[in-house]
Structure 1
Amino acid sequence: MKLNALLKTLGFLALAATPVVAGPSAPVKNPAPLPPPNDDLGITASLGYDSNYVWRGINYGQHWVRAGLNGALLLVGGAAEDGAGSTSLLWNVDYGSLAGDHDTFSPNFNGAFGAAAIKSTNSFQRLQLGTAISHDFGPASVSFGYSFIHNMGSLANGMGVNQLAGAPGGFGMNDIQQLTLGFSTNLGPINVSSSANYDLFNGGWYFDLNAKSTIAVTDAISIVPHAGLGYGLHYNAGFTQSTRNILGGGTFGGSNSSTTTNGISGWTALNVGIDFPIKLNSRATLTPYVAANLPMGPMANLARSSSFFTGVGGPSNAFRSICYYGVTLSVRF
């Protein structure tokens, strides 16, 4: 009896320890889907059109066509864990041209001074290359960078005015090489940014203060009002001394070509506008905009006919208030 009882007990334990193999296997749950690989290269390409090319308060001309590439390369990450922030290398390449050569500086010669063969409009192109180191502290980000601006075309070369009989020559624009210290932060729903820019080649400072806010209308459409204010300290915008003499006399240049002056010091312009970004898909955005440029202080005083072109019509349109518009198509890669 004891032996039978012991055998029954052992058989029961063996049966309990044996896995069940009969019948269908229990279904295995699908593993959680893996997140899609991050194939974002951090590069954005853009194409755009502006009815007027306005840069730092100056209206250079009509029908500006432009293209650009910009990107960010993360150098140091991990801001969320240790609070140390992240550091990135920013870069940009931009090129633009006045379609149809509708610049706002060239006087309307109309045959004056025997200048019937001189164009009253001149071509202008600009190539800008920039790089900067940006550190995001969380509440604010700070950047320091260098940019090179190459001015091209007959406007930059001073052709037209330099062809005038008796003109002292030396008219046009220099290239610009500048160092920039930038700052950006959010004050509630408003993003505020500012920069200080020093021109290594031409001398002079340019400061700006900008504010914008994004108002979501739908998941794909937003309204972005923005405003920017500029201030110059011995600022000359890269124009040669001879050009500044013509543009502004004692305000911008000097009373004659032999006078070396220090450029504009004071408020330059207030620029206000509204962007309407429209997300076409996860990577492409179309952004129409409208804006107004309002020259201030010494720059507003430049909106007059130069005494050099008395009776011809001086290059004053570049410094007058203007409303303009444009559109940009940007694609992120």
Structure 2
Amino acid sequence: KEKNLGGLAGDFKPAGWDWGLERYYHHIFANDKEVIKLAKSVGWPAFFEKPVTNSLIGGKEKRLDSPFSLLKFNKLSLISRLHMGLGLAMLKFIRNGVGLEKYQAVGMLPKLVGPEGYKKVWEPLLLAKFGKFLPTVNMAWFWARVYKRTAGLGYFAGGFAKLAEKIAEEIKKNGGEIRLGTKYKVGDEKFDKILNTGGRNLGIDYLWGQTLVLELNKPLMKGYWLNVLQKNWPFLVVVEQTNFINKKYYNNKHLVYLGNYLKDKDKRLKMSKDELLELFLPYIKKINPNFNKKWITKKWKFQDPYAQPVFPVNYSKQIPKIKTKNDRIYTANTSMVYPWDRGVNYAVELGQKAAKAMMLV
């Protein structure tokens, strides 16, 4: 039913830009084998950079993205730094963390990373993201977030929507048809088989994804990614795209996402882009005291439901099957890439599994 390709990786492209920008920040990791392989097969390979990831804690930006930077993090005692480093390293060595799903993240994490590390680093981030749903989240989800992370981050020339266009071209070359902006009702048309990719799975909760995107005349930060580990801030992450991808592709402007995951009925979902900006401005100034509203040349607001699934304890036992009870109807959505909660790589992998299932007699 969307008018453009890409889904949650879809983009927008104002006049003057050479590349489009995703409505929601996107990158891939160096170990995202399925999407890397697919991109190469359609002649649109990824390129990789090593942008800076920081965390805002105690009003200061700190690097916590490597064992060395963690050891230098003086907001924690040396014992706590070592404890957290060892705990995270242990997760990296577990090849399949689904067995951790029987534990709540809130119960196991303080033991794994230490009570001080959990209280000062992980609890603020997880509370900002999940809120009242945090006690629901299982430990396999957290393992997946740590296990997959790599220093190198990948992107595609022209953005993720450009990759989607290249894939669409290959589909059409092979006789496929893609209909955009189309809605169907039961009985409208007859098909041999149907794949439902709707995000809703009534068995679990979902969070909305929301971004306020700012086009600026000046850079806001030095790094690419800033996790906000501060209580009661109105956004949980700041992503400066042009500290990852060269600003020359965006008319030499600086592009910044202010991102959130929100529960239904959150007041921010009803706010306009101007109202959101007014709410965010005092906090943006805390990130960069020199920031001036006059730096902003354009702004956009985007939001979608079902952006972030909330995986409960022992979720593997309730994952929907690709093949439904109806032999002609199949399903594939973000609730099925568990323990990975989202990501283009796992959408590709799930899509391949669904295609194979549908081709079986």
| Structure 1 length-normalised TM | 0.24
Return the structure number with greater strand share.
1
**Comparing both structures, which one devotes a greater share of its residues to helix?**
2
Max radius of gyration: which structure?
1
- Alignment TM-score, normalising by the size of structure 2: 0.23
**Structure with greater contact order relative to length (CA < 8 Å, sep ≥ 6):** 2
